[in-house]
Amino acid sequence: MSDIIQLLPDHVANQIAAGEVVQRPASIVKELLENAIDAEATKIELILRDAGKNLIQVVDDGKGMSETDARMAFERHATSKIRGTEDIFKIITKGFRGEALASIAAVSQVELRTKQKAAAIGTNIYIEGGVFQFQDPVQTAEGSNFLVKNLFYNVPARRKFLKNNNVEFRHVIDEFQRVALAHEGLEFSLFHDDEAVFRLRKGSLMQRIVDVFGRKLQPQLIPIKEDIIWCKLQGFVAKPEGAKKTRGEQFLFVNGRYFKSAYFNKAVQEAFDGLLMPGYVPTFFLYLDLDPGKIDVNIHPQKTEVKFEDEHLIFALLRSTIKRSLGIYNVAPSLDFERDPELDSMMNTSPSKSNGGVLRMPEIIVDKDYNPFLEEREVFNQGEIQNLTEMYHTNITAEPSKINLFEDEDFDEDLMRLPNGYWLFNKGDRTLMLDLGRMHRLMVSENSKPTKRSAPGSHALLFSLEYHMNEIENTKYKSIKKYLPELGFEISVAHESVLRIDAVPEGLKETQVMKFLENLFEILEYKTEEEFMQFYQNQWGKLQSKSRFDFIYKKDAEQLIKDFTALGFPEFLPNGKRCFFEVPFNDFKNKF
């Protein structure tokens, strides 16, 4: 019987390895930008065509490569960044595995022009599908110029899984921002299809954040700083009004490297406890600096996950420092925001030498359900509320009941507002728990949808408003500006990236304009006009609707219930969330 195990050809092995390194254009962008930083560049340009599918070009003014190094850089497991096994456990550079360029070249057409600063002439290398084509001397600028063309041209099965240009460009932007935010002392530029998207000058960390995300973010930023023996923490968190429902502007860095950590995100979230509306997450830019030997960045192919030796102490450091800063800047009560003395003791010694004591973080007890506007008759026993909630979750999967409470015109009802914002509504022998916020949202959605065919009127502003766009929003505005006049907006570009707003749709308050536009710019691009209109309608409905906490007075609740009845008292929102449920009072017999 013949042998069946064989070594794979190099080009096949490279294509398989490329699957870990190169998933989409953004993967290549990350690797090339990090290589430029490791090459000690001070100025880096990223140039794209078709969101990187047809061209990714990175030009830097770094130290460049010799003729031999330029050729060796495309070999697998070839790197200048580690020499022995011990180096893996104290990584200080960005890339270190030595597989990136070999993997990129295996699935694209790659050209490199590079020259060292002391060299009279540079080197030009061309590789196609992992196969070396030629290497020639060339006159070129100092540094390196990588051109990656026609990604996955030789692996069509992989290329067809790429998303449309808008989605892929969003991923590129994400990687570009992460690298740029970690290196505010370097200049970065991004061009897409011959249009400048970013031109970032070197400066302070605050300046870099503002240049990336826009001037309107600056007043919201609160500085965070702590310097202890074994760890440094700096950065910014946004005030509660800068919080969002989507996890967008949340950035963690360690030793200049972006990473993801649900555990540390939780530390930040806990620091904002009691300050954010339910469902909102804080905006933050936090930078850790500690001994490279205390972290392991080699646990994820994209190096976005980092293992920390003493992550529970860093969790405590993040939560405590942010809480204290929120107190100092009068965002939250400053009482109890000083660190626990025991925490100080552990923080000011090496973690490995700590006594392993239990950290006791200061806590603030807030009655989130307290409402001073409640009438005495509306007070409801908290234990009964808990019982109602438990029974609700028990019966949530039951067959939805048919609600037909208002067959007659008699509207003699019994209403009680609970401390948590919900209402109890009694009619005959049935009692419902109502979420008036959701009911109002459904009313707005059904009765006040702005559409292109039934656009709201327009009213002129007494004084024009100015909206300062960041580069992403500038790109976004160009894609949707043709729809805005038909919806009641009168907007023009005043200068550079500043919009002048002279008129807005009827029903849009002047104080709501900026937030509304910001929400429209939330998505980078819409595929179709219908998608834009659907998102616009959704944002309009949210803007006009109230939360259940806005309904304080009984007369407002009564009117909403009457209006909601005209819709047939629907039980669910379009997204499947309930507007109400029936309280199974018969089940209370089992509680006594």
> For 570-582, what is each residue's pLDDT tens digit?
888 777 788 888 8
Residue 392: predicted pLDDT: 45
Same domain, 499 and 588: yes
For residue 566, is it within any domain? yes
pLDDT at 396: 41
For residue 255, the one-letter residue type is N
- pLDDT at residue 369 tops 60: no
Element (H, E) at 141: none
Q: Are residues 185 and 219 in the same domain?
A: no
pLDDT given for residue 514 in this prediction: 86
Tokens of 175: 């990687």
**pLDDT at position 249:** 87
Sheet order of strands, 284-290 included: 221-227, 231-238, 284-290, 250-254, 257-259
424 and 330, same domain (yes or no): no
Structure confidence at residue 395 (pLDDT): 44
Which 8-state DSSP code applies to residue 348? T
Shared-domain flag, residues 475 and 329: no
* 224 three-state secondary structure: strand
The model scores a pTM over 0.85: no
Q: What's the CATH number where 285 sits?
A: 3.30.230.10
Q: Which pLDDT value is given to residue 525?
A: 62
Residue 369 lies in a domain: no
Query: Which domain CATH number covers 75?
Result: 3.30.565.10
By DSSP bridging, strand 195-200 and strand 55-60 are unpaired
Last residue of a domain, one of 178, 200, 222: 200
Instruction: Give 321-367 pLDDT, tens digit per residue.
Output: 999 999 988 776 654 444 545 455 555 555 555 444 444 555 555 55
Residue 103 DSSP SS3: helix
Identify the pLDDT of residue 342.
43
**Structure tokens belonging to residue 92:** 């200080």
Query: Which of 312, 330, 353 is where one domain is finished?
Result: 353
Tell whether 223 and 103 lie within a shared domain: no
- 423-427 vs 221-227, strand pairing mode: unpaired
Neighbours of 557 (CB within 10 A): 21
Residues 182 and 307 placed together within one structural domain of the fold: no
Say if residue 457 is in the same domain as residue 529: yes
CATH number reported for the structural domain that contains residue 533 in this entry = 3.30.1370.100
Phi, psi of 428, deg, nearest 5: 65, -125
Residues 295, 254: one domain?
yes
370 falls within a domain:
no
Instruction: Please give the tally of structural domains in the chain.
Output: 3
Domain boundary among 166, 183, 200: 200
Query: Is residue 176 located within the same domain as residue 212?
Result: no
Q: Is 24 in the same domain as 141?
A: yes
Mean pLDDT of 177-206: 95
Residue 5, domain member (yes or no) = no
Question: For residue 45, is it within any domain?
Answer: yes
Q: Contact, 347 vs 228, CB < 8 A?
A: yes
- Residue 427 counted as domain residue: yes
Range of the domain at 406: 384-592
> Do 176 and 241 share a structural domain?
no
**Residue 56 pLDDT exceeds 90:** yes
More confident residue, 495 or 69: 69
Q: Using CA atoms, how far apart are residues 563 and 569, in angstroms rounded to an integer?
A: 9
Residue 56 lies in a domain: yes
pLDDT of 90-142, one tens digit each? 455 555 445 789 889 999 999 999 999 889 999 999 999 989 999 999 999 99
Q: Among 184-198, 388-402, 493-507, which is the least confidently predicted range? A: 388-402
In a domain, residue 366? The reply is no
Flag whether pLDDT at 88 surpasses 60. no
The tokens of 195 are what?
A: 């249009």
Q: 164 and 139 share a domain?
A: yes
